[in-house]
Chain A
Amino acid sequence: NAGVTQTPKFQVLKTGQSMTLQCAQDMNHNSMYWYRQDPGMGLRLIYYSASEGTTDKGEVPNGYNVSRLNKREFSLRLESAAPSQTSVYFCASRLRDREIAEQYFGPGTRLTVT
């Protein structure tokens, strides 16, 4: 099993450009999550999907949109990138919602917006 995979690994955007970060998991997990990590801070939740067909806002959703394409895939879109969105983005998945279970993380996408 590959676990949680993310593409791309690195990306540089100019202010105002758009892009989609891709995430896929092969563990048949129900819930998927997008986080951002900034220097000196822990991870902050952007959006999550408790199950296929549902998405909800997390702590810092402004400037982002998500799509739960199917059970495996959960994408994060920046419609008009801003320098404040320079960060490392992590996708995670979890076996079941509303049960005690750990999350499995992808390797991250390092995004720079100039």
Chain B
Amino acid sequence: SQQGEEDPQALSIQEGENATMNCSYKTSINNLQWYRQNSGRGLVHLILIRSNEREKHSGRLRVTLDTSKKSSSLLITASRAADTASYFCATVRGGNKLTFGTGTQLKVEL
């Protein structure tokens, strides 16, 4: 079964706005990762946050992690049309396996 669930399932915003998507998971984790998938393509890693970290930044991306609530959020600031994609969170409990959420479809309109 899926470990993570993203919310919302779909999000439509205007270029320049910020986009926030959330991920909830069920069990304790070692780290949490966010991936982007453009239509018809493979997934691309965006950012990784360890279980002992609370916030991490990478360019226009900001990720937070609240292990007490078993949730994470991904914020994309000043969105661009090129950010249109599906975004997935993936959790790692230990070892070598990722467990993916169901994804958020983001559409950024001009």
Residues of chain A touching chain B, judged by Cβ–Cβ distance below 8 Å, are 4, 31, 33, 35, 40-45, 48, 50, 58-59, 90, 92, 94, 97-98, 100, 102-108
Contacts and interface: CB of A to CB of B under 8 A. Distances in A.
Given A42-B103, A50-B96, A97-B96, A107 B33 contact: no
Contact of B42 (A4, A41, A58, A94): A4
Given A102-B48, A107-B42, A45 B97 contact: yes
A35 B45 CA distance: 15
B41 A100 contact: no
Contact of A90 (B1, B43, B48): B43
A105 B86 CA distance: 15
Interface in B13-55: 30-31, 33, 35, 40-45, 48, 50
Given A42-B2, A43-B43, A100 B30 contact: yes
Contact of A40 (B50, B95, B102): B102
